[in-house]
Homo-oligomer: A and B are copies of this chain.
């Protein structure tokens, strides 16, 4: 396994996926509870098989994160017939997807795992999570933003900056507080406010980047 980062789709047999599911469940249930023995017992397989399939503990961890992160595919947004209304709906949808994903238990677990991993000179998991989380949204949002600009509905010079501002307006301090285990932010609490937050963030984004905004 070692240093090879498998960025692209990798097909796992159903049995292997069952193992990965077990591994993720253990991660979610109890952060660092991912011991090889625990995974083997949970998945009713032998440790030897784990090592054969995934190389070592890090390989199993990487495969799990990779596999799960890639599963977080957000719905495509219709880009045809762009007008003020559909653009706003698209952006609102992105905000909703982003918030929903980020506040999910699986996402929190994956991010925590990756952060922990990054604290030990290893950055592969961080890149995977980043790549499949924020960057995935960015890749799909940017064309929309640029289409909006071309249609004179938005105004900005750098779509990168526009995206990052969007991210900030939507996520605010929610993600870091969830990662730090802030009890004041139970997930249900957050979930109940998602719609309002999404609307507020979208309003603010258009206030800053809408065609009629007096852009600073």
Chain A stretch 139-183: residues in CB contact (< 8 A) with chain B: 161, 164-165, 167-173, 175-177, 179-183
Contact A123 B207 (CB under 8 A): no
Q: How large is the interface on A (under 10, 10 to 19, 20 to 34, 35 or more residues)?
A: 35 or more
Residues in chain A within 8 A of chain B (CB atoms): 30-32, 109, 111-116, 118-123, 126-127, 129-130, 134, 161, 164-165, 167-173, 175-177, 179-183, 200, 203-204, 206-208, 213-216
- Chain B nearest CB from A42 CB (Å) reads 18
Tell me which residues across on chain B come within 8 A of A172, comparing CB atoms.
164-165, 167-168
Q: Bound complex: CA of A183 vs CA of B123, how far in Å? A: 8
Contact A113 B118 (CB under 8 A): no
A123-B181, A183-B123 known; A134 vs B176 contact (CB < 8 Å): yes
Given contacts A126-B182, A127-B183, A200-B216, 6 further A-B contacts (CB under 8 A): A31-B116, A109-B119, A123-B180, A130-B177, A176-B176, A207-B207
Contact A116 B114 (CB under 8 A): no
Contact B114 A180 (CB under 8 A): yes
Contact B119 A113 (CB under 8 A): yes
Tell me which residues across on chain B come within 8 A of A114, comparing CB atoms.
180
